Each structure stands twice: as C-alpha cells, then as structure tokens.
Amino acid sequence: MSYPPVASGGETDIEALVTVEVLDLRARRWMRGPSTRVPHHGHGSVALDGRVYVIGGGVMPVLAATSLVESLAIP
C-alpha cells in the first residue's frame, strides 16, 4: 500500500506552524490537511495506515522542544 507525501509544521521568523499538507498525486497539487493541536518545527512525521504522525520538534522557533506525538487522519 502506498501513502501520499505529507508535509507538516515548519516555522516563520516568529512562530512554529500547525499546518499539514498532503500531495494529491492525481491532481498534482498540495492540499491542506488537518492542523496539528500544537505548532511543530524540526520534527519528524510519517504517514501510516491512513494517518500522519507528527513526532516531537519545537513548539516555537529556536530552542523550545516537545516530546508530543500527534496522530491525524489523512483526508
């Protein structure tokens, strides 16, 4: 089974992001997915069994870290 590419989180100069985007392979465009509950940057993410798992990272730019793991349904 294959899963679509997923991009999550990131940061601007002043904040970490809650965004999740999923690549629609048929339409060849990125689509907005569900937002995470908290911002993430510098984290790991993986798509598995119809969900995206967002693991750790920082909740704000620079040196803030979290051990939070979030699981979101992929649209």
Where residue 57 falls (left for φ over 0; alpha for ψ -120 to 50; beta otherwise) is: left
42 compared with 2, residue with greater pLDDT: 42
Reading the block at residue 20, the tokens are 């999740």
Amino acid, single-letter form, for residue 74:
I
List C-alpha distances in Å: 18 to 23, 25, 27.
17, 23, 24
Enter the pTM of the model.
Answer: 0.74
Region 13-34 average pLDDT:
88
What digits encode the pLDDT tens for the residues 45-71? 888 888 889 998 888 877 677 888 888
Strands 44-48 and 6-8: unpaired
CB 69 within 8 A of CB 52: no
Residue 1's pLDDT is 46
